[in-house]
A and B are shown apart, each in its own frame.
Chain A
Amino acid sequence: MFKIQIRSPGGLGDKRAPSFGDSWEVLKNAMWMIYDGRVSELSFEVLFNVVYTLTLRKQGAELYEKIGRFFEEKLHELKISAFETSSTNVLSTLLQVWDKHCESLRLISDITMYLDKVYCKENRRQLIYDMGLEKFRDIILKASKGEVHSQMGKEINNARLGSETVDFQALKSLIAMMETLTDISDTYYLTEFEPSLLQDTRDFYRNFITNYTGEAISYPKEVQVLLDKEREVDAKFLNQDIMIKLSTVVEGILISDNIQFVTEQVVSELLRKDLHSDLRLMFSLSRAPQDKKRLWKQCSQYISGEGMSITGDLTLKKRTQAAVKWTSELIDMKKKYELVLRDIADDDSIDIKAVNEAFAVILSHNGKRNADFLATYLDSLLRSSAAEDLTKLQMEEAIAMFKLLRDKDVFEKLYLQQLSKRLLQQRSPIKLEKHLVNRMKEEVGGSFTLKPEGMFRDISVSQVNNTRFHQSYQVPYAYDMSVLTWTCWPFQQTSNEKQIILPAALEGLKLDYENYYMKTYSGRVLTWAYHLGSLDIGFQFKKSYHIITMPIYAAIIFMLFENHEELTTQDMSDLTNIPENELIRNLLTLAIAPKTRLLKKQPMSKKVLPSDKFRINHSFSSPTTKVKVLAVLSKSESETQATSNNDSPTAEILGERRQCVEAAIVRVLKRNQKLYSDQLFEKVRESVTSRFQLDPGTFHKSVDRLVEREYMQRDPDDSSFYHYLP
């Protein structure tokens, strides 16, 4: 195209062209004819020439105005004839007018091409075509806006309800028209119609929700159907962009705005009834991230609710059984929900999180008891004689729970106690014990497993020592000695006891071992912890011979009867120096526990008094040759156990926690020198989280104590700001 424009005064053609008025008449008539559909009678060239000439004569502006006024006039006329006389559908009338206008406008703008090119572009006016569209918008469309919008909305809603008579073609054309017309800076559709369309849509689905009477569990399917229907309807007259917008709106109404119903009723109900495919559907329908989050949260809450309803079966007599039952039920439940939720999630990390959160809540729900149960469960696993692989598998599941346990220190306490018993009594395969400890180390770090590792070391060192001892001394009995590093083992020290008087045979043995040990490790102090040991005694009763395994104290008592026929409690105490509570406990074991009544007590009662008399029960018998005497719990002990059943951590554990928190505070503050209270709290919480959950109360008390003891000080201006005091 040439950019240069050279205008000779008259341009092409006739120099004595007709006046503006005459020319305009020609054009105007032609335009009327175009609107009347009589195009074929007109010569394009003639009309084009007229426009050309007028434009060249600098009469473009005038021409432009006139054409504009002509459109206005024409459209007003069309409006009156079409809308105010015909009673047919507003929408189809509108479309007819639109089509006619467009067609005519196209022809007119072709004729006025030269005006567009020379006048409009240079003077930055709208092209004739665009001006014509704008006039249409203002005169026709805006005038009937309310009616048009509501009619269209009605049609669309009818379509949603499944009406067969909806004219999608018309709707489609109307939308196309609205998208063609501009308004302000956007299309008419966007600025005017879309808000109304979206509002209608919202109202429609809100209405659906308010009137929803179906069951909660069928909601996902209903929503699916609605969404499908909406898409199907929309596809018939809307383009992709708008469809997406509408879908988003509908989802927003049906799910986001209805989230409370969706979570509290639908999700819970689906989980309760195990309708997992519907649950999956519900998840896939909820596409907004915050909705998804709510759904996961609900799942988590539901699971924790269900988990908490698995109360340990306290009717079971034995705590161990209750613990095992509870834990395995919980593990099964965890497996089930992991499976269900993994199936639902498209991203693995969330589902596990939901389950894990739920179980963390469950596990911390009953405070100490659940930690105890878990430890007891592991205890029974390790004591069981099941195949190693199976045990490992079950252990893995238990460890997964352990990971989620918040009060790990509570668990640790019982675990260590049980571990020590298992180790000393050699009741579990050491290989599995080590495996378990290694796994825990992997999960929560080394600090947790220091003590168990020390215990393992003691055990293996002791085994070596025992072999050596047997080699170098004449030992009349099979004899195992374990030397324990007391810091690693959860026992109280026994050094303040009175010297126990042992039977001669044992005394000799004890001295020999002490001798041996001192030679090997000089400078160490051996303290004997009789209450941890056990002894096998062979004894010929009247009817049968039995090998009896019993605690050392019980054995000491039993062996007194080698030299005595009958003894009172007081006698025994004098002869052995066994502390009174232990003595009574062991006497209860030997004389009252129904299966191991090795002694006869005089008088026969459930209490042991200093004056009670004991003698060997020669008529004792048992179906097996080996008999194990289990120490009964003395009353006071069983009481403390009973009261600690369901309460929060014991005083002892609280004490340990306090120390732990104080140490952590000092550590953190030393590193940072000064910190605000909440920063400090956060850091301390982090550092103790592998052991227990820090609560603000404990934290603040610890801070107060540390301030008092001048480990740290409050800032004089800001009491929530702390300084470290070196």
Chain B
Amino acid sequence: MSEVILISKNNVEVPISREAASVSPVLRSMLSSPFIEQQQNKIELKDIESHVLQKVAEYLEYHQKYIKVSENEDIPDFEVPTEMSLELLLVADYLNI
């Protein structure tokens, strides 16, 4: 499973699987078209704080993991710290998640 590296505001690198990244149409487009991002396998998201980006990556992996699981099975809740929620929403809008 190939990995992609997301880079946050403070140059913190957040690795994420390509499949998980593709949950966001924006990230998917970046990776499927022959832009710089695809060649370098790195996506710079300089507007996003590292802890927020971390959380986003977590969510993407979480989503990727449970998307195929049927409703009947237990899906653990995804914890979102309240103070981060506004920032997360903005990022979600940006990445079209």
Contacts and interface: CB of A to CB of B under 8 A. Distances in A.
Interface of A: 1-2, 4-6, 8, 11-14, 39-45, 48-49, 52, 106-107, 110-111, 113-114, 117
B96 A114 contact: yes
A289 B19 CA distance: 57
Q: Which 8 pairs across A and B sit closest by C-beta, in order of nearness?
A: A13-B47, A110-B29, A44-B35, A44-B30, A12-B47, A39-B34, A43-B36, A44-B37
B97 A12 contact: no
B90 interface: yes
A39 B93 contact: no
Nearest to A110: B29
B96 A117 contact: yes
B89 A12 contact: no
A8 B91 CA distance: 12
Among A6, A12, A41, the most chain B Cβ lie within 10 Å of the Cβ of A12
Nearest to A11: B90
A6 B94 contact: no
B69 interface: no
Contacts of A1: 96-97
A41 B47 contact: no
A41 B33 contact: no
A4 B34 contact: no
Contacts, number: 67
A12 B36 contact: no
Contacts of A12: 47-48, 90-91, 94
B89 A2 contact: yes
A5 B90 CA distance: 8
A40 B36 contact: yes
A42 B39 CA distance: 11
A302 to B, nearest CB: 68
A14 B47 contact: yes
A44 B29 contact: yes
Contacts of B30: 44-45, 48, 110
A110 B44 CA distance: 17
A293 to B, nearest CB: 58
Interface of B: 25-26, 29-30, 33-37, 39, 43-48, 86, 89-94, 96-97
A8 B26 CA distance: 20
Given A1-B97, A48-B26, A117-B96, A40 B45 contact: no
Given A13-B46, A45-B44, A49-B47, A2 B97 contact: yes
A6 B29 contact: no
B86 A6 contact: yes
A8 B89 CA distance: 10
Contacts of A49: 47
Contact of A2 (B35, B36, B46, B92): B92
A44 B36 contact: yes
Contact of A39 (B25, B33, B92, B97): B33
- Residue of B36, B86, B92 ringed by the most chain A CB atoms within 10 A: B36
A101 to B, nearest CB: 16
Contacts of A40: 34-36, 39
Contacts of B35: 39-40, 42-44
Secondary structure at the A interface, as helix, strand, loop or mixed, is helix
Contacts of B93: 2, 5-6
B29 to A, nearest CB: 4
A14 B46 CA distance: 10
B47 A43 contact: no
A116 to B, nearest CB: 10
A521 to B, nearest CB: 98
A53 to B, nearest CB: 10
Contacts of B94: 11-12, 52, 114
A48 B28 CA distance: 13
B33 A45 contact: no
Contact of A43 (B25, B29, B44, B91): B44
Contact of A8 (B47, B48, B90, B96): B90
A110 B33 contact: yes
B37 A6 contact: no
A8 B39 CA distance: 33
28 contacts: A2-B89, A2-B93, A2-B97, A6-B89, A8-B86, A8-B90, A12-B94, A13-B47, A14-B47, A39-B34, A40-B34, A43-B37, A44-B33, A44-B37, A45-B37, A48-B30, A52-B94, A107-B33, A110-B29, A110-B33, A111-B29, A113-B25, A113-B29, A113-B96, A114-B26, A114-B94, A114-B96, A117-B96
A14 B89 CA distance: 17
Contacts of A111: 29
A9 to B, nearest CB: 11
A45 B90 contact: no
Contacts of B25: 113
Nearest to B87: A12
Contacts of A8: 86, 90
Of B44, B91, B94, chain A has the most CB atoms within 10 Å of the CB of B94
Nearest to B89: A6
Nearest to A12: B47
Given A6-B89, A111-B29, A114-B94, 17 more contacts: A6-B86, A8-B86, A11-B94, A13-B47, A39-B34, A39-B35, A40-B34, A43-B35, A43-B36, A44-B29, A44-B30, A44-B35, A44-B36, A45-B30, A110-B29, A113-B25, A113-B29
A6 B89 CA distance: 8
B42 to A, nearest CB: 10
A49 B36 CA distance: 15
A39 to B, nearest CB: 5
A27 B75 CA distance: 43
A210 to B, nearest CB: 55
